[in-house]
Chains A and B, each alone.
Chain A
């Protein structure tokens, strides 16, 4: 099955600086890579996702890049703000156009701390 590795486990950055979280996956058949943000005591919520037919996707201060050859994908947050402090999870799965699917395989998470 799929295996997703996520680094670092903890990341501390100064407010206003950029943060980068990296993930690798093992199954070359995976074609869907979402990122979730989980604030303390709350549910994970999708912040951005990318499919394997594109290499980069941006949404305001957040961007995700994908390197299919190397089986790497990364989350980039620019101009970090205190409300960005949370645990971030990457994930990978295979989406079948016909309907069957595997569940998402998650990385172990990165605790992002924004220092004022």
Chain B
């Protein structure tokens, strides 16, 4: 049971490039989400999904796309990278909201630098 797996761990992009951050979980969690963490800003929700085929926007969705074609995977796409997207990105998952003891499990993070 690997939990939440994120790849890559580090990435450097040039402005305007696109890329996909991968996230996979093997806990059969219905709920998955993406956060970005910036110094002094805490963790801010980008997008989330309550199940396969369902996604919704969080607090800071602009410049990012997501899809949820399977329960296990929830990739985050940067369409045209900008320096403001330099951040540490965390993917997280949990059991269906409302289920007892449904804490949020985080991946190890992806450190992205956009130059």
Q: A99-B96, A103-B58 are in contact. Are A108 and B42 (CB under 8 A)?
A: yes
Is residue A98 contacting chain B, with contact meaning CB distance below 8 A?
yes
Inter-subunit contact A103/B33 (CB<8 Å): yes
Q: From DSSP, what is the main secondary structure of chain A's interface residues?
A: loop
Inter-subunit contact A101/B109 (CB<8 Å): no
CB contacts (< 8 Å) of A36 on chain B: these are: 104
Is residue B19 contacting chain A, with contact meaning CB distance below 8 A?
no
Interface string of B5-44 (1 = CB under 8 A from A): 0000000000000000000000000110101000011111
Inter-subunit contact A43/B45 (CB<8 Å): no
Q: Which residues A86-109 have CB closer than 8 A to chain B?
A: 89, 91, 95-101, 103-109
Q: A89-B42, A103-B48 are in contact. Are A46 and B97 (CB under 8 A)?
A: no
CB distance from B104 to the nearest CB of A (A): 6
Is residue B86 contacting chain A, with contact meaning CB distance below 8 A?
no
Inter-subunit contact B98/A96 (CB<8 Å): yes
Q: Which residues A57-116 have CB closer than 8 A to chain B?
A: 89, 91, 95-101, 103-109
Which residue of B30, B40, B42, B108 is within 8 Å of A106 (Cβ)? B42
Interface residues of B (CB under 8 A from A): 30-31, 33, 35, 40-45, 48, 50-51, 58-59, 90, 96-98, 102-104, 106-109
